[in-house]
Amino acid sequence: MSDLWASLPALAQDILVTLALLSPLAVCAAVLLRGFAPLPLVRAVLFRFRWANLIFVLLIAVSVGMGIGVIAQERGLRRGMALAADKFDLVVSAPGSEMTMMLATVFLQPSDVPLLGGRIYDEIARHENVDIAAPLAFGDSYGESPVVGTTADFVTHLGDGRLEGRIWQHHSEAIAGAASGLAIGDSFTPAHGAGAGADAHAHEGQGFTVTGLLPRSGTPWDRALLIPVEAVWEVHGLANGHAPERADQIGPPFDPDYFPGTPAVLVKAEALWANYALRSEFTRDAETMAFFPGTVLSELYRVMGDLRQAMSLMSAVTQILVAASVLLGLFILTRLFQRQTAMLRALGAPARFVMAVIWSYGATLLCAGTAAGIAAGYAAAAALSRIVTLRTDMLVEATITWPEIHLAAGFLAATSLLSLLPALVVLRQPVAEGLRA
């Protein structure tokens, strides 16, 4: 049986799991409704107490929507972070915190980190297994956009070879990200530092003109302004990485004696095994630290996974409390039409018919609330994703998938079974007491 299950497509497995979760609902409906037509009475009760019913449906929708929204948002955030790190195969930096360097290189978070010298960079760049060794120089900004010094190879790598306009040809030219707010032909002067502490006048007279635009990637690099790494060193009064006779050169090879230093080097090798070999070779306790941003993210995912488990536990507790509230609410609602059910019994209606009316009433409210909860969860996840995307420039897309459907189906099945209890309580009450209500 396990082999048969494993051979099924993922979609078929998800559909079967959903049907299995909903099977108690189907069994109750088949047993209680067989041979009866309680729907006209149910519609009358729904209309008669429509405002109370509406509030009950909204409470269910909020509960289901919260659980669905949390799960969908966490998954969307995880996917967005993986997308942001996709272009960063291997990063080499000075020894320190891998998490700090990952946040600085992948997510462009301002960080005060030591620099790698020219000798180390030259060793990396000349390695036979290295295809791209791009220095990444941070520290300046323009408005909300970080200004990053690098090489043309990195620009090509970041944009997958797509670029509107052209690559820089002079030290005073720049490439703008799709969300930077600048267009081809615009000029800017970087400020020293980032955020509220940035010095807007430190680099006066050091203007740059945008000659190209990168396509939107859904990562924080969409708001970056990329300039030749030589320009970063020059605006800070340092050597530009080349001997004086080649001072106008842009890009590698760099002269180790005139290389001022860089916080990080993005390393790319065509062969997967070469990346692992390079990480091992350039992990030197006293000089360099080489790491895979994806590996650091996996550690972050582990923490997020623990957080998700905690939030899932909280969601489960919430669902239990809501289920108890649903049960209490059904008891209260059935009291509203206690006299009508007593009249049915006095007229000789079978007990199963009375149960069918009460259960169908409760199941209708639960189905409506669960469906509204799925819609509310989708809307909440979409709204939160948009807010996170706007605040981080990291594309977060939270969608409702099968795990959320399974959660909603399980909640609906459990509460539908609980809705049998109010019907049983009504049947145990004396008819005369019900008529006096």
Residues 164 and 252 in one domain: yes
Range 321-325 contact pairs with CB under 8 angstroms and sequence separation of 24 or more: 322/59, 322/60, 322/63, 323/411, 323/414, 323/415, 323/418, 325/59
Residue 55 within a domain: yes
Better-predicted residue by pLDDT, 337 or 321: 321
Residues 122 and 51 in one domain: no
Span 84-117, pLDDT tens digits: 888 888 999 888 888 888 888 888 888 888 888 8
Residues 126 and 238 in one domain: yes
Q: Does 383 have pLDDT greater than 70?
A: yes
pLDDT at residue 382, as a whole number: 83
Residue 3 within a domain: no
Residue 118 contacts residue 262 (beta carbons within 8 Å):
no
Residues 253 and 151 in one domain: yes
Residues 415 and 335 in one domain: yes
Of the pLDDT bands very low, low, confident and very high (cuts 50, 70, 90), residue 74 is confident
Residue 41 within a domain: yes
Q: Is 186 helix (H, G, I), strand (E, B) or coil?
A: coil
Q: Does 222 have pLDDT greater than 80?
A: yes
Please give the mean pLDDT across all residues of the chain.
81
Domain boundary pick from 269, 291, 313? 291
Domain membership of residue 356 as a residue range: 9-83+300-436
pTM of the model: 0.73
Residue 130 within a domain: yes
Q: How many domains does the chain have?
A: 2
Residue 368 within a domain: yes
Query: Alpha-carbon Rg of the chain, whole angstroms?
Result: 32
Length of the chain: 437
- Average pLDDT for residues 245-270, to the nearest whole number? 88
Strands 191-192 and 264-268 turn out to be: unpaired
Domain boundary pick from 291, 310, 329? 291
Tokens describing residue 307: 């957080």
Q: Does 22 have pLDDT greater than 80?
A: yes
Residues 95 and 74 in one domain: no
Residues 222 and 285 in one domain: yes
Q: Does 190 have pLDDT greater than 90?
A: no
Residues 313 and 219 in one domain: no
